[in-house]
Amino acid sequence: MTRHAFGAWRPMDEAPRDGTRIIVAIRSTEQGPAEVDVARWARAPHAFEKGWIAADSDHDCVIAYADVELACWTPLPKSLPAERAAIAAAGLPEVPPDSEIGGSGI
């Protein structure tokens, strides 16, 4: 997977089918807009064939995608300890304790 750069979207026929987790772009449907998910090529429990499985699927509730549902893919970003440390050092913004952010608070 080293030949692919994070953020460069590739056709699904170039996606690794070795169990590597990747970011996939899911096509929009009448059920909802286009979105992205993390998936891997694997065999779901009680399935006969391998397919694209959401990486956070539960053993009892597998989220599987058909090839036609997926538009393209990109690799997950690499873990870069130096950049992760810089982000952590920057800290999170202060949020006043009684403020609401984008909701009714109910």
Alpha-carbon distances, residue 99 vs 92, 96, 106 (angstroms): 16, 6, 13
The confidence score (pLDDT) of residue 96 equals: 55
Q: How many percent of the chain have pLDDT more than 90?
A: 39
Listed in sequence order, the residues at least 6 apart from 96 whose beta carbon sits closer than 8 Å to its beta carbon are none
Half-sphere exposure of 52 (CA within 13 A, CB side): 21
Distance (Å, whole) CA 83 – CA 58:
32
Please tell me the distance from the alpha carbon of residue 52 to that of residue 69, in angstroms, as a whole number: 10
**Given a cut of 70, is residue 97 above it in pLDDT?**
no
Check pLDDT > 80 for residue 6.
no
pLDDT single digits (tens) 11-54: 999 999 999 999 999 998 888 888 999 999 998 877 788 999 99
pTM value > 0.85: no
